[in-house]
C-alpha cells in the first residue's frame, strides 16, 4: 500500500476507514442480539458489506445506524470515521449526482459533502427511518448551499429595491413553501414543521416544542402536509401564486427562527387529526385553524 495520503476528501476518509479495520485491533461492532445480522462481533468493514447487501432489510440497517450515530456522538473520532466509511458507497454516488452544476473544484465539493454528513451526525433524529440516507442528504444540502454562495458572489448588485421569485421550475424550496402557505395548501404550523426540519436540519423535537405538541403529533402533521404539498406541486396548483417581493421569504425565515407564538394559539387536539380538522376552543368559538 502506498504511504502517500490521498488528496481528495472522500478518498482520505476511505483510507482512514481502511486503517481502522487493520490488525491487530480492528474496530468492531457487536451484532449479537440484532435480528437479521450474524450473531458475532464484526469488524466494521465486514459490517459494511452486510449492510449494503440487497438481502439486508431496511429496518436492520436503521437499527445498526442508530447505534453507529450514538457511538459517533459518544465515543469520538474513530466511530465518526467508521460511519463515513460505511456510508461511502452512498456518499460517492451522491458526489457523482452533484457533479452536474458544480463549477468549482471537485475537492471542494466533496469536502462540503463530507462536512455536511459529519455535522448531521450530531443532530439527526434517531426516531426517524432512513438514517443513513438523511445523513447523506444533509451532505448534499451543504454542497448546494456552497454552490449557491459561489453563484451569489458573481451576482450584479444594484441599489433599487426590486426582486422577482425564481421562474418555473422553482429552484429554491423556500419559495415553494411560501406559495403553498399563500394558497392555503399548508398552514403556518405545517410551514414551520417542514421548513425547520427538512430545510434547516432542526430536530423534530425542537419544532414540536415550538408548537407545544408531541413529537408523534408533529410527525403526523408533517407527513400529511407533505402529501398535500406534493399533490399541489404535481397538479400545478402553485404555479399561479405570485409573490410580489422577497419580504414573504424573509418573514418566513424570521418566523422559523422565532417560532409563531406571536399570534394567539387555539386549543389543540390531543391526538393527530385525520384531515387537519379544527378543534373547538374552551370558549366554544370555532377555531381558526
Find how far residue 15's CA is from the centre of its chain: 27
**pLDDT at position 152:** 55
Regions in the chain scoring below 70 on pLDDT: 1-3, 150-172, 240-289
Distance CA 28, CA 41 (A): 6
- Tell me which residue of 135, 91, 87 sits closest to 111, measured CA to CA: 91
pLDDT on residue 58: 93
Tally the C-alpha atoms within 13 A of residue 210's C-alpha that lie toward its C-beta.
22
Q: Which three cell numbers stand for residue 66?
A: 442508530
Residue 242 is predicted with a pLDDT of: 60
pLDDT of residue 230: 86
What is the per-residue pLDDT for 158?
A: 44
Supply the DSSP string of 189-248, one letter for each residue. Answer: HHHHHHIIIIIS---HHHHHHHHT--HHHHHHHHHHHHHHHHHHHHTTTTTT----STHH
Domain ranges of the chain: 9-150, 173-258
Give residue 103's pLDDT: 76
- Predicted pLDDT of residue 30: 95
Amino acid at each position: 500500500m502506498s504511504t502517500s495520503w490521498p488528496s481528495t476528501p472522500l478518498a482520505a476518509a476511505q483510507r482512514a476507514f481502511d486503517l481502522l479495520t487493520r490488525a491487530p485491533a480492528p474496530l468492531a461492532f457487536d451484532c449479537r442480539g440484532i435480528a437479521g445480522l450474524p450473531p458475532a462481533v464484526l469488524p466494521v468493514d465486514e459490517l459494511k458489506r452486510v449492510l449494503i447487501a440487497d438481502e439486508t432489510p431496511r429496518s436492520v440497517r436503521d437499527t445498526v445506524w442508530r447505534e453507529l450515530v450514538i457511538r459517533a456522538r459518544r465515543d469520538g473520532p474513530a466511530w465518526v470515521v467508521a460511519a463515513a466509511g460505511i456510508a461511502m458507497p452512498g456518499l460517492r454516488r451522491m458526489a457523482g449526482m452533484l457533479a452536474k452544476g458544480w463549477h468549482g473544484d471537485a475537492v471542494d465539493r466533496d469536502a462540503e459533502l463530507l462536512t455536511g454528513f459529519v455535522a448531521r451526525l450530531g443532530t439527526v433524529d434517531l426516531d426517524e427511518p432512513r438514517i443513513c440516507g438523511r445523513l447523506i442528504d444533509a451532505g448534499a444540502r451543504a454542497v448546494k448551499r456552497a454552490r449557491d454562495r459561489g453563484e451569489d458572489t458573481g451576482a450584479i448588485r444594484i441599489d433599487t429595491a426590486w426582486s422577482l421569485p425564481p421562474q418555473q421550475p422553482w429552484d429554491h424550496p423556500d419559495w415553494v413553501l411560501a406559495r403553498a402557505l399563500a394558497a392555503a395548501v399548508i398552514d403556518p404550523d405545517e410551514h414551520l414543521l417542514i421548513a425547520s426540519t427538512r430545510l434547516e436540519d432542526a430536530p423534530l423535537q425542537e419544532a414540536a416544542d415550538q408548537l407545544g405538541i408531541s413529537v408523534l403529533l408533529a410527525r403526523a402533521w408533517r407527513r400529511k402536509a407533505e402529501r398535500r404539498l406534493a399533490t399541489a406541486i404535481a397538479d400545478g396548483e402553485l404555479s399561479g401564486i405570485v409573490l410580489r417581493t422577497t419580504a414573504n421569504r424573509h418573514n418566513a425565515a424570521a418566523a422559523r427562527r422565532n417560532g409563531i407564538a406571536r399570534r394567539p394559539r387555539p386549543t389543540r387536539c390531543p391526538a393527530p387529526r385525520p384531515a387537519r380538522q379544527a378543534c373547538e376552543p374552551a370558549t366554544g368559538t370555532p377555531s381558526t385553524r
